[in-house]
Amino acid sequence: MFKHFCALQTLKINIMNNYIKDLEIDIIDMVQNEILQGYFEEREFEDKIYEFVHEFIDNQLIYYKDQIEVIQELHLYDFSEMDSPQNIGQVAYMGIMDELHNSGKVFEKSNYKFTLADII
């Protein structure tokens, strides 16, 4: 019984990690595209990355079905540790942001190419 429980927990963590990894890849690709188009400069990175991530996640959570999917994927059933969310959209948003901050990949400037030398 315990082995089955541990295997199930590992599966849940892998699903959650895949969801966040896919989201990170999407965000990094979109930010990189903004950089290459000249809308996002290296000196503005610290200011703009949070704004970009916020807008990206907001767009991902427009519909209830997407919010519910995030809650299920990230197992956000106990949100007592969160900053008083008022609706499921806020639960989903806070859960995603928490996971992104824990990983740190989308907020790490070294994951982006700002100059031609970085690209080559």
Residue 50, both tokens? 């949070």
* pLDDT at res. 120: 63
**pLDDT: which is higher, 23 or 12:** 23
Q: Dump pLDDT digits (tens) for 83-109.
A: 889 999 999 999 999 999 999 999 999
Q: Dump pLDDT digits (tens) for 26-68.
A: 999 999 999 989 888 889 999 899 999 999 999 999 999 999 9
- Report which of 30, 31, 19 is spatially closest to residue 96, judged by C-alpha positions: 19
* pLDDT at res. 115: 79
Every domain of the chain and the residues it spans: 13-37+46-119
For the chain, give the percent of residues with pLDDT over 90: 62
CB 16 within 8 A of CB 75: yes
User: Exposed, middle or buried, 95 (CB in 10 Å: 0-12/13-18/19+)?
Assistant: buried
**pLDDT at residue 119 above 80?**
no
